[in-house]
Each structure stands twice: as C-alpha cells, then as structure tokens.
Structure 1
Amino acid sequence: MSGMRSYGDPCGVARGLDIIGERWALLVVRDLLLGPRRFNDLLGGLPGVSPNVLSQRLRQLTEHGVVHRRDLGPPTRVHLYELTEWGRALEPILLQFGRWGSQSPQPPDGPLGVDSLLLSIKAAFDPARAPALAGSYAFHIDSDTYLADVAGDTVQLRRGTASDPDATLSTDLDTLRAVCGQEITMDAALESGALRLSGDEDARRRLTDLLLAPFTPSPQPPTP
C-alpha cells in the first residue's frame, strides 16, 4: 500500500508498526483523538511536517483502515479526517506511550500543541479524584472549542460544543501554554484579561484543578 515497507514479521508488534511506524503517523493519530480535523488544521498542529508527507501519511492510514476521510460536499467542499473505531483503539496505547515518553530526561524545546496539552489531562487523570472533579467543562482556545466531561471514574475529551457547561475557560494557546508551563499563574492570567473563566466558583475551581493536575509537581515526602 502506497509503497510502505513491511518488516515481514507476523508478530503483532511488527504488524502494528507496518501500519503506524512511519514518521508522523502516530502524531497524526494523536491529533485526531479529540475529533475530526481538516487537512490544514492537521498541518498547522504538526510543525515540521510537509504537506506532501502529511498527505502520504493520511493516505496510508486511510488505506489501512485507521483513518476515514469524510467529504462534506458543496458548498464547503471540505474534507474531514477522523479515526475509525479501530483507529480509536489506539487511544490507551498512545496515552500510555505519552506517560512513558514524558519521563525522557531531555525533552525537546518545541512548544506543546493544544491537543497535546489537553490530552495530558486524560493521561494524568486519577479516577480516585473523579467525584471531586465531576462536571462538564468547555475550553475555548483561540478559534477551537473542546469539551471535557468528568463522570463516573473517567474523563472524556473531544472537540465540540456544550449547550450548558458547568464552567468555561477562554484564552489563546500562548497563554494556555504559559499557565500550564508555570511561567505565569492562573491568577495573573485572569488579572491581565488574557484568560477568562465563567461559571460558579466551585465549578471554576474544578475546571482549574482538572486542567493543571498534569502540570502540578507531586509533593515530595518530608526529609527524615
């Protein structure tokens, strides 16, 4: 398919790498975990990938049944790319791989994309805290909207809108990166107007706790 090389090994690991082992393939899957995206959205979220390479990866993933292309037709004539059910089965693998990779001693200097920032919430989510964080939360990041639902012992994240979220955060990606990277505090971002929160006080607190949990250092045990 599309000139892809194969390991020629019947092991499931090798067969999986035959499908998603090419450079950029897994990152394309990552950026589709929260919902469908247009080609230009994917291109903008993957700094360093060329349009030709992205087209090739999307074609290969589509041929293998990992990604589905949906044509919206006139008048928009927009093509949306989304994960198939089989493609979505990669989510727990990618989240676990992200947890493993985040322990790398030498992280690169590149900025985190919005999908990566929000997927960190899911990767770091502690089911034991679900009752304290239960609710529906909207994130307006630049022109994109994301919804987080905490119910039972899970958190679900997706691109989309909510009719009546418990709390809403509105900001731009640079401010979100700065807050999550602890370059500025949430209070400072709110005071400057670069970030806005709506909802009652308790819901705003839950949203803040949910967002910042992956980026808050664990308390160190006391020194004997």
Structure 2
Amino acid sequence: MSPRRSYDQYCSAARALDLVGDRWTLLIVRELLAGPRRYTDLHADLPGVSTDVLASRLKDMERDGLTTRRRLPPPASAYVYELTRRGHELLPVLQALGEWGQAELGERRPTDAVRAHWFALPLLRALEGEGIVEVRLEEGEFHLYVGGDEGPAYREGPAPVEPDARLAMDVDTCTAVGRAELSLTEAVRAGRVRVTGDGTLAKALREA
C-alpha cells in the first residue's frame, strides 16, 4: 500500500483533502451511503473507474478509517465494503457539494451515465420529517431514510417494509427538485409527482 500523500498544510480543509481529495474517493462514498456494497457492485455503478484505481482507493479508505471490509456469511461468502461512522459523516459534505454543483449539470450529455440512485442525495435534502420514502423513476427505484442520523442514507430497489410515502416522478422533475428550481410540494401540487401511502410523510406532502 502506497503512503498517503499530503498537502503538508496545517489547515483542516487541506487535511480533509488528504483523505478524500483523490479522484473517485467521494463518489465511492456516495455509493457506500447506500450501505454495504460488493466490489463488483461498486465497479458497475462507477462507470469509467479502472479496477486498479478502485481497488487502490478502497485500500486507502480502509487505511484512513473511512471504510471497513467484511465477509458475508454463507451462502454468499463475498466481501462487502461499508462506511465507518467517520465515513458516514461525509453525507452532509456530499450533499453540500451536490447542491453547489447543481448549476454545472445543464443538459444531460450523450456520454453521461446515469443511475436512479444518484438522485437520492438531492431528494434527501428536499424532504423533511422522518421515515422511509420509496422513489420510482423511469431508470429504477430506490428508497430514502429521511431524518436518520446513522446507517444508510438510501438503498437501491423498493423499500423492505411499508414506506411512509411512495413518490413517482420523471427525471426532469427530480432534477428540478434537486436544483431547488421547484420544491417537492410545488411538484406535487402541479401533478408532476404522484404521492401514495398512508404514512405521515405522504399525508404531509399531499396536504401541503
């Protein structure tokens, strides 16, 4: 394992970048905010990263206390990577970075990859309250853990239990909400988001 490079500056921002400033590191964090992931899953959802770079970043992140690696029990017997508490503390950092970067999105380019769960963090920022929200886009489904301080911020696929709300929308609406061009309640009123469910979050969105 190569020694960690450092800016050698007595500054908290520089120290933070010593750990997460390398290319791909924060995007790996984004993926692991969904909970434990296998190496193959991470590689599939990080289009463009080489296997060597991904393996190197994961080793660095484990060394720096941002991730851990554990073996799943049989019959899976595969290794998964997951964030430590310290790694999970990067959630608001990624949300702030995503909010700042919304102005750079523009129109989707033909070469741009997209995954449904990449919309999870902007939507998480737009939701208030506490509970599980299931989201359906054309590209797929994911669910959010709203108001949770620990554990995953979101997971791919439908919610494992009855969610507090189900939201169905198109990518354009989801992008507009993420950019704060349209609030979630405004999108619901305009009929651009369909809300179902009997939980507190669903009722609050329908009645806002």
- For normalisation by structure 1, the TM-score amounts to 0.65
Q: CA 1:54–1:100 in 2, change beyond 3 Å: closer, same or farther?
A: same
Partner of 1:117 in structure 2?
119
| Letter in structure 1 aligned against 2:79 | H
Q: Is the CA contact 2:120–2:142 (under 8 Å) kept in the aligned structure 1?
A: no
Q: Is the CA contact 1:147–1:162 (under 8 Å) kept in the aligned structure 2?
A: no
Percent identical pairs in the alignment equals 35
Partner of 1:138 in structure 2?
134
- For normalisation by structure 2, the TM-score amounts to 0.70
Q: CA 1:105–1:203 in 2, change beyond 3 Å: closer, same or farther?
A: closer
* Structure with the greater alpha carbon radius of gyration: 1
Runs of 5+ consecutive residues of structure 2 not aligned to the other structure: 177-186
Alignment partner for residue 177 of structure 1, among 162, 171, 178?
Answer: 171
SS at match of 1:93: helix
Runs of 5+ consecutive residues of structure 1 not aligned to the other structure: 191-195, 210-224
Q: Is the CA contact 2:120–2:144 (under 8 Å) kept in the aligned structure 1?
A: no
Q: CA 1:88–1:202 in 2, change beyond 3 Å: closer, same or farther?
A: closer
Q: CA RMSD in A?
A: 3.8
Alignment partner for residue 197 of structure 2, among 192, 196, 199?
Answer: 199
1:96 aligns with 2:96: yes
Q: Is the CA contact 1:136–1:149 (under 8 Å) kept in the aligned structure 2?
A: yes
Q: Is the CA contact 1:39–1:81 (under 8 Å) kept in the aligned structure 2?
A: yes
- Following the alignment from structure 1 to structure 2, what is the Cα–Cα distance between the partners of residues 32 and 208? 32
Q: String of CA shifts for 1:112-161, please: whole Å, max 9, x gaps.
A: 43332011112334xxxx3xx7654224677865244469xxxx842274
| Letter in structure 1 aligned against 2:88 | R
Offset of 1:206 from its aligned partner? 5.8
Offset of 1:103 from its aligned partner? 2.1
- Following the alignment from structure 2 to structure 1, what is the Cα–Cα distance between the partners of residues 11 and 199? 53
- Following the alignment from structure 2 to structure 1, what is the Cα–Cα distance between the partners of residues 155 and 69? 17
1:165 aligns with 2:163: yes
Q: String of CA shifts for 1:170-199, please: whole Å, max 9, x gaps.
A: 8xxxx85365358xx999999xxxxx9753
Q: CA 1:181–1:16 in 2, change beyond 3 Å: closer, same or farther?
A: closer
Q: CA 1:69–1:2 in 2, change beyond 3 Å: closer, same or farther?
A: same
Partner of 1:7 in structure 2?
7
- Following the alignment from structure 2 to structure 1, what is the Cα–Cα distance between the partners of residues 90 and 131? 26
Q: CA 1:145–1:7 in 2, change beyond 3 Å: closer, same or farther?
A: same
